[in-house]
Structure 1
Amino acid sequence: MVTPSPRRRLANDLRYLVALLRRFRPTVLMAVVIFGFMPLVYRWRHVGADGHGVSLGKALRHVYFLLYGQPSLDVDDTLLMVLDMVIPPVGIAVLVDGVVRFAYLFFARHRQDKEWFEVIAETMKGHVVVCGAGRVGYRVVSQLRALGRDVVVVEKREEAAFVAVLRDEQVPLLIDDIRSQQCLPRTNVKTAAAIVCATDDDLANLNIALDARKVNPNIRVVIRLFDDDLVAKVRDTFKAEALSSSSLAAPAMALAALDPRIIHSFRIGTHLMVVSVFEAREKLPGMTLSEVRDRFGGLALSMRRHGGGDERLHPPGNTLIEPGDLLTLQAEYEDYRKLRDFTLEAEAPVFAPPRPESMS
């Protein structure tokens, strides 16, 4: 769970308050007119039975109670009589209704209704819109929030897997059909930096991407697709980043079946890259990290010395490898196999060596 810092929460609250004031501009203006200008009119025009005028405090009190149909001054001036008749209905229709709605939206933010969501989205710029609150969508949201990015989520089903979790983490969440006409505008997609289409419906994801591009031509679009045949077509046609869950998972699953030491794999073009943990036993001790890189293409991502200690990310190339050191290396799969042969481990180990805590 990603918990925002107190400073970030305060900044979010202030942005939300500013957005509310902007949305309720007519209410704020009406309040200024009624409580700022009208008491001055009563003080200027009203003359009491004793021939004296009314104080500003009494004039303000009179205007306030007029909103509830309870005038506190007996007026006989034509202008003031008109105001006595106009202020109650106008105040109730505009001011009281606006204040009640303002207070509701400000103090009942955890209800997360559509209007609250829309106000929150209005405070954001350069945020990421995530469509889908399933496992993939939730993990995307968690990663983005860990990176400090503002995120809003749209999910069609109230009973979706991670709706309750996202609400507990106070992530702005809208329950609505993303394909409805008003849904995307509520996410403030016109100022968003990116949209992630992660629903379980390929057609819905494509429709979302097209609608987002109409509103914001410069938005970065990432689409989750189940149909592998569509991935390349979408990338070329829509200039969007299309990802297939099966194509992403297949290399990792296949290589994990062959070698439990491989902890991650991915493709760069036609190159199959792997990340693996080596324990320096044979041949590696005495070499430097740069020698491993130059000879086998193995880039050292992290290193932990034998006997414990903190893991060091991106260790210098002149670091000398000692017996028992744990190295997290990235290399093309064929180079990885050559390195394994070099360390006299032609066969994959039955059990993977201990991993650094950050990799486990």
Structure 2
Amino acid sequence: MAQTLKDLEVQYVKVFINSIQELNIVDTGSVFYELARWDASIATYFIVTNCLGISVIERCGGDDQKKRILPDCILMKKSICFGLTEPNNGSDATGLQSTAKKVEGGFVLNGQKRWIGNGTFADYIIIWARNVDEGNKIQGFVVEKGSSGLKTSKIENKFSIRMVQKYNFLLLMLYSADIELKDVFVPYHNRLEKALDFASGANNILKHSRIQVAWLAAGVGAGAVEAAHRYSLERKQFGKPIASFQASQEKLASMISSVNAMILTCHRVSLLYQRGKASMGQIAMAKAYCTKTSRQVCSLARELCGGNGILLENHVMKQFMDMEGIHTYEGTYDINNLVGAREITGIAAFR
């Protein structure tokens, strides 16, 4: 019976992955919002797989690459991840130190990557590196699991966005990985054909995925509000539910207003994106606003639950911790706001 249930769960996830390929960005954002209300790790897993993995091959790969890689990834026969961030290059994504050098039959990659979601088990790791033979342009290379010179290891002691064992339908854990590349050979047919530089490659993908992270942040906030609301109706102090006190009601109203504002922000920037009118600055500011606001919502939700709010069983603490990771990944709050301000002022505050 257990094996049968597990098979059904895996089949459900495969259907889910396949179905979201057909949705527009408002639809998929709504899906990630709903997933994040329940668990940010699950939502992050699907964003990495879909928006930072499958979408890269779909947008930056050639016809042969799409035929070879996409079917198995969509059906979840194989997994895929996105390797951009490095130990010494987080916000400075254009300053990557990983390199690719042409050799007979392909390229040799050297470098390190860090905080790579799904990187410990992915069958395909999309590595962004400088092609030293083409003016150090940042290009994409598909490194296959088991390649000689490739080493992946789990980053220990991470307390945000942890996928726990009970979510066994994915048959995996959402580990962030350290990746080391020492003379890793990548054949010519595994260089992404349409990722000619940072703008046409990695940045093109981030413009799409960053909107989904904003939706995810809104969902995490909504989940925290729901948990706090439920607790406030059940928890009694001074002979009545704490939901009856003015301070508690003010917190609930404030949190719900913030969630509504995040949803409207996500919806607006998604519609602009669908019409081809959303700039990177608008998208970056939407992500920054939603993660900052959701962080505040989670803090209020934890506060409303008092001492019991730090217990995982009341859910708000998990949302609180998960938001710390979301506030930083896909560009920190500060960098995303500066990307927006660069468009507003015409002056770049960083290189």
TM-score bracket for the superposition, by shorter chain length: under 0.3
Taking structure 1 as the reference length, the TM-score comes to 0.21
Superposition TM-score, scaled by structure 2 size: 0.21
Higher relative contact order (CA 8 A, sep 6+): 2
Structure of greater Rg: 1
